[in-house]
């Protein structure tokens, strides 16, 4: 049986989108933000870190947007019921995780844009890539805390998406019902 080209392409794009969102966010949190302390000037530190995150936001938005589009399109065709009761629960879990990832990502995009604008236009002091300096304005401190909390939350939801996607794929591969449905997919 030939492999469904459109379905396979969508699956690849879906996984690449999740990988870019998760990998970039993990790199930023673990490597970029802590390394910013090497920049001695607190305002330069903020400019560089915020410019880097702001630059990555487009990659993150495209990646997660692609994952969402491919998921919701595929989801409109297959609910999981045709596979198994476990697959149906996994589909619902993935819907929740995808929604949570998109909402937190959008809020983070707005918050990160605010911080980037402030740091580039006015200069804001940062202790590290993830902590505003004590002398920073309160709105910057609040936005930094929100962006950091949502960053951890987004990493968790993206990890959940990757795990549930893998589990769902494995569940589908063992289903004779799914094998019949897959034959008619483009």
39-75 pLDDT tens trace: 999 888 888 888 888 888 889 999 999 999 988 887 7
Q: What are the beta bridge partners of residue 132?
A: 126
For the chain, which residues score pLDDT lower than 70? 1-7, 77-83, 175-186
Assigned token pair, 93: 């879990």
Write down the pLDDT at residue 5: 55
Write down the pLDDT at residue 118: 85
**E-strand stretches of 26-165:** 126-128, 131-132
Write down the pLDDT at residue 153: 95
CA 116, 143, 153, 69 dihedral sign is: negative
Write down the pLDDT at residue 183: 52
Element of type H or E holding 176: helix 176-183
Please give the Cα distance from 90 to 84 (Å, whole number).
10
Give burial (CB, 10 Å; 0-12/13-18/19+) of 141. middle
Write down the pLDDT at residue 142: 93
């Amino acid at each position: 049986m030939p492999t469904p080209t459109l379905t396979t392409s969508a699956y690849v794009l879906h996984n690449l989108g999740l990988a870019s969102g998760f990998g970039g966010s993990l790199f930023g949190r673990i490597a970029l933000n802590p390394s910013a302390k090497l920049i001695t000037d607190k305002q330069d530190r903020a400019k560089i870190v915020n410019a880097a995150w702001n630059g990555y936001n487009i990659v993150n938005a495209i990646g997660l947007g692609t994952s969402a589009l491919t998921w919701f399109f595929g989801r409109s065709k297959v609910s999981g019921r045709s596979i198994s009761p476990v697959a149906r629960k996994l589909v619902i879990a993935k819907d929740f995780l995808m929604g949570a990832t998109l909402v937190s990502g959008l809020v983070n995009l707005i918050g990160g844009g605010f911080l980037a604008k402030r740091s580039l236009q006015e200069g804001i002091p940062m202790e590290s890539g993830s902590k505003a300096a004590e002398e920073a304005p309160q709105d910057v401190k609040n936005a930094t805390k929100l962006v950091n909390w949502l960053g951890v939350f987004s990493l968790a939801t993206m990890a959940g998406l990757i795990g549930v996607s893998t589990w769902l794929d494995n569940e589908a591969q063992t289903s004779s019902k799914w094998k019949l449905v897959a034959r008619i997919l483009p």
